Amino acid sequence: MPKYRYLNLKAFITAIDPLLVEEYFLSRVPQDQLIPCFRTMGMNFQYVKDLMVGLRDEKLKVKIGEELRQICDLSKAIDILVRVVSANNIPMSKDETPQQLAMVLLLKHTMVFEHAWTIYCYRHSTTQVHEYCLPSKTTNMESLNIPAFTAQIRDFFVKQAKGDHCLVKEFEGQGETALMIIHGSYIKTVARWLADEVIIDTYRPAYEDVILYDKTKSVLKIKASRKDRQQYYKSFAECILNISDPIQGEQNNVYTLRPLEDKTFRWDGNERISSIEVLEAHLKLHGTTQPDVIVRSTDVRRTFEEDLGDLNFSSGRVVYVKFRFTLETDGGPETAVFVINPPAVSDLTKISHRDIIAEYLQKNGVLRV
């Protein structure tokens, strides 16, 4: 799940056609819980506010609140909305607000909305993304063996004492397969007050993990915890890509920092990238004790040259770096800060202008696909 999100209900509701707001609440709230009123122009903010305050069904109130947050979140990711709308040939008015477009998807194109939400979770959850080069052994990627994949990971969760609840949703995009996996975790116990008495509640949390597979580049991208990620890699390779006994080796690496070590990386940028700096670098130095050195500064390369004598990127293995790229845009210079942590980790997917930066990294050998 993405980290906690704030919903400004007034700004959100006023950005949507009142008739569409009415359609949403009429589809969610039982007739006997609606506030009586004469509605001819839909539901405005004040009506929605009073309705939410007066809802007697607490579970329904929580469910509606979460749906409205999802719509609000997606409205801030207009590129995702446009991407899924275009891929599914859904008409979109140029005057339509992002909030209204997201609401339309939820009400009239539910699977498209869920696809958009899956991509949003991939980009915005707090869990790191791991990427792997993993070419398919099958020529038929149109008929994915989702039942076999689901059965295998459900069995894994049962053996991990995370419960047998496991729901896998599949979405097909332009050259990309997306999977949302909703599953349980370890049972938790909490003490809480009930009137004047302390009682013990137990519950099993639910988690959302995301897998994306880029069919064009043959790259598997997984956002999940370490143990779950390893199982997803194995199950996706076996059940979806028809790879028997998959292992992870150098051939699966997506990122490398060897171009920094062998001085083949170009630091001068191009017509769109005006400057490239390193803000942090972790090096494992050559030597009998194999010391680790972490250098942080406003310009690590300059720090090497002016303050640290002979130390540089060629002094050992570069474990990770934090880059700062400055890009020239129509609105003026913009900076993008991101980490490359080979062989599989980067937060490149979360930044603006990622396509421009990825192309540059690929030409310079840091991004291998």
pLDDT tens-digit series, residues 225-267: 989 999 999 999 999 998 888 888 888 999 999 999 999 999 9
Res. 5: pLDDT tops 60: yes
Q: In terms of pTM, does the model score above 0.85? A: yes
Q: What is the pLDDT of residue 323?
A: 97
Question: 111: which strand partners?
Answer: none
Q: What is the pLDDT of residues 122-160, one digit of tens each?
A: 988 888 899 999 988 765 555 578 999 999 999 999 999
Q: C-alpha distances in angstroms, 335 versus 35, 47, 147, 297, 325?
A: 49, 43, 44, 16, 6
Residue 323 three-state SS: strand
CB distance 220 to 213 below 8 Å = yes
Q: Does 97 or 136 have the greater pLDDT score? A: 97
Question: Which residue in this structure is represented by tokens 């329904």?
Answer: 60
CB distance 240 to 152 below 8 Å = no
Q: What is the pLDDT of residues 11-54, one digit of tens each?
A: 999 999 999 999 999 999 998 888 876 555 788 899 999 999 98
CB distance 206 to 183 below 8 Å = yes
Q: What is the pLDDT of residue 125?
A: 82
List the alpha helices (DSSP H) in the chain. 9-14, 18-28, 45-54, 58-75, 78-87, 98-108, 110-124, 146-159, 226-235, 258-261, 300-307, 354-363
Q: What is the pLDDT of residue 141?
A: 54
When mean pLDDT is compared across 91-95, 127-131, 343-347, the lowest value belongs to 91-95
Q: What is the pLDDT of residue 190?
A: 92
pLDDT band at 349 (very low <50, low <70, confident <90, very high): confident
Res. 2: pLDDT tops 70: no
d(CA 105, CA 97): 13
Question: 329: which strand partners?
Answer: 332
Cis, bond preceding 91 (omega within 30 deg of 0): no
Residue 4 per-residue DSSP state = P
Q: What is the pLDDT of residue 145?
A: 87
When mean pLDDT is compared across 23-37, 64-78, 200-214, 308-322, the lowest value belongs to 23-37
